Amino acid sequence: MGTEDAPSEPSASDRAGAPVGRRTILGLVGLGAAGVVGGSRVQDLLGRWLGPLEANDPTGLLALFPLGDTFRFYSVTGSVRTETAATYRLSVSGEVAHAATYTLADLQTMPQTHFVKEFQCVTGWRVPDVQWGGVQLSELITRARTSTRAKAVRFRSFDGTYTESLTMAEAMRSDVIVALQMLGKPVTHDHGGPVRMYCASMYGYKSTKWLSAIELTDTEIPGYWETRGYDINGSIG
Amino acid sequence: MTPLAPPAGSVHRFSASVRAVHWATTVLMLVCMLTAAVLYNGSLALAVGHRRDIELIHVYCGFGLPVPMFVGLVSRAYRLDLGRLNRFTRADWQWLRSRTRRDGTIKVGKFNAGQKLNAALTAGSILVLLGTGLLMYFPDWVRVSWRSGATFLHDWFALGVGLLVLGHINYARKDAEARRGMRAGVVSVAWARGEHEAWAEELGVSSSDQD
């Protein structure tokens, strides 16, 4: 090692021929550029044709292919403990007159809102037509009787690390819910259950998984991803 | 630069610079693939967690992935090998179409057509993965539908590159002398004659030169 070995000059036959390697590379880069612009539509079509096949594929092999319309599961900590209907608690506190702690059963007896809306990640992946159900956040805030100092909402997760925030105006929107149902059934643990946030008009990072606490605050406090570069305004666009 | 004489019965195949590019790319590619599996697969993602850390390792190894293949350009030996990989002759197309391509009837140069194709597809895919990865990592750069397109491409190109890498490893697994070429830089004359006859002729060690 150490010395540069003598490179042998390619023979005439190796220098002849078309520059197919370069064309292949340029072709792939061109395909990449076109795919960035049009790939979203192609993915929608693929998802519509193959999504039902993938969902009903007994072998599970189709799931190995990135056909789209599939969730990526994010966790920013190690393992997250499992909470059940018996153990789960959601606290509402901070700048409020009536701090409260709710069980899952408490939340289930409140008025439920249902709608169908996509889940959009800021990095680009999305899952269209997800069925959501739960309690409007505004319902819990109204019950808590906020003080005049309350200007924002802070969310905590029982993963022990994740936090998020909304302005009071965002929090009172009718499409911001404390979700108990996702994909037409109770929110699974992997999706952030038994209770997670869903902010329909915002990127996924605004929708805290494994929701444990809602705090009314006098200023909006940047959450986990926002201290790591993401915009505190998570509106999709 | 005085070349070291290869051991008796051996010929130089890859310069230290070419091998450095290969192995630096290897390390970065494997780290990218392992972290990609954790980021993409739901069960792994939740078992491992720590998404931010995994993501940072993946992103920075990804940013680094094309660097060796560009830095290598300072080496003349590397540029000459790239020149060989770039050019497809009529014999290359015949070789690709042939069902008996390994029997030596079609004389192969320093690289066979499969190696040329693999090099071009891998290099091009790395550039696409870098570009789409940048768009995913910096969400302020382009609108959301382009980010969706970038994610879509990144997924499929990652699958493609993963298959290319597995295929590449599988061919290497079956050929100890080819591995020696990339590890030590030299291969036996017999191997050069058997696998790359036209290249052996260039080097003046073909069977017809000696018999």
Q: Into how many domains does chain B fold?
A: 1
Per-residue pLDDT of chain B (211 residues; tens, 9 = 90+): 445 678 889 999 999 999 999 999 999 999 999 999 999 988 899 999 999 999 999 999 999 999 999 999 999 999 999 999 999 999 999 999 988 888 878 899 999 999 999 999 999 999 999 999 999 999 999 999 999 999 999 999 999 999 999 999 999 999 999 999 999 999 999 999 999 999 999 999 887 655 4
pLDDT at residue number B1: 45
Q: Number of H helices and number of E strands within chain A?
A: 5, 10
Closest approach of A139 to chain B, Cα-based (Å): 31
Q: Which residues of A touch B119 (CB under 8 A)?
A: 21
**What is the phi-psi region of residue B67: left when phi exceeds 0, alpha when psi lies from -120 to 50, beta otherwise?**
alpha
- Does A155 fall in a domain? yes
pLDDT at residue number A10: 65
- Does A81 fall in a domain? no
- Does B97 fall in a domain? no
Instruction: State mean pLDDT over A194-202.
Output: 97
Q: Which residues of B touch A68 (CB under 8 A)?
A: 152
Residues A127 and A43 placed together within one structural domain of the fold: no
Q: Which tens digits make up the pLDDT trace of A63-78?
A: 677 776 788 999 999 9
SS3 B129: helix
Q: Which tens digits make up the pLDDT trace of B76-131?
A: 999 999 999 999 999 999 999 988 888 878 899 999 999 999 999 999 999 999 99
Nearest C-alpha in A relative to B127:
A29
Maximum CA pair distance of chain B? 67
DSSP assignment of B143-157, as one string? -HHHHHHHHHHHHHH
Q: Which residues of B touch A125 (CB under 8 A)?
A: 148, 151
Residues A142 and A179 placed together within one structural domain of the fold: yes
Choose the closest CB to B149 out of A13, A39, A66. Answer: A39
Indicate the pTM of the whole model: 0.90
Residues A24 and A117 placed together within one structural domain of the fold: no
Helix H or strand E encompassing A115: strand A113-120
pLDDT at residue number B192: 96
pLDDT band at A1 (very low <50, low <70, confident <90, very high): very low
Residues A111 and A34 placed together within one structural domain of the fold: no
Residue pairs spanning A and B at CB distance below 8 A: 216
Q: Into how many domains does chain A fold?
A: 2
**Residue in this structure with the two tokens 């002759």, named with its chain if needed:** B89
What whole-number distance in Å separates Cα of residue A74 and Cα of residue B138? 18
* Residue A13 touches chain B, beta carbons under 8 Å: yes
Choose the closest CB to B49 out of A24, A75, A122. Answer: A75
* Residue range(s) defining the domain that contains residue B33: 10-87+106-210
- DSSP annotation of A136: E
- Does A235 fall in a domain? no
Residues A177 and A140 placed together within one structural domain of the fold: yes
pLDDT at residue number A68: 65
Instruction: Please give the ipTM for the structure prediction.
Output: 0.91
Report the percent of chain A where pLDDT is more than 70.
91
Other CB atoms within a 10 A radius of the CB of residue B100 amount to: 8
Residues A59 and A110 placed together within one structural domain of the fold: no
* Residue range(s) defining the domain that contains residue A27: 19-64
- Does A197 fall in a domain? yes
Maximum CA pair distance of chain A? 87
pLDDT at residue number A6: 53
> Per-residue pLDDT for A191 more than 50?
yes
- Does B100 fall in a domain? no
Other CB atoms within a 10 A radius of the CB of residue A222 amount to: 15
- Does A82 fall in a domain? no
Q: Which class for A219: exposed (0-12), middle (13-18), buried (19 or more C-beta within 10 A)?
A: exposed
Residues A106 and A59 placed together within one structural domain of the fold: no
Length of chain B equals 211
Q: What would the two tokens of residue A129 be? A: 């037509």
Q: Which residue has the higher pLDDT, A56 or A214?
A: A214
DSSP assignment of A155-221, as one string? EEETTSS-EEEEEHHHHTSTTEEEEEEETTEEPPTTTT-SSEEEETTB-GGGS-SSEEEEEEESSPP
What whole-number distance in Å separates Cα of residue B111 and Cα of residue B169? 16
Q: What would the two tokens of residue B70 be? A: 């560009």
Residues A167 and A57 placed together within one structural domain of the fold: no
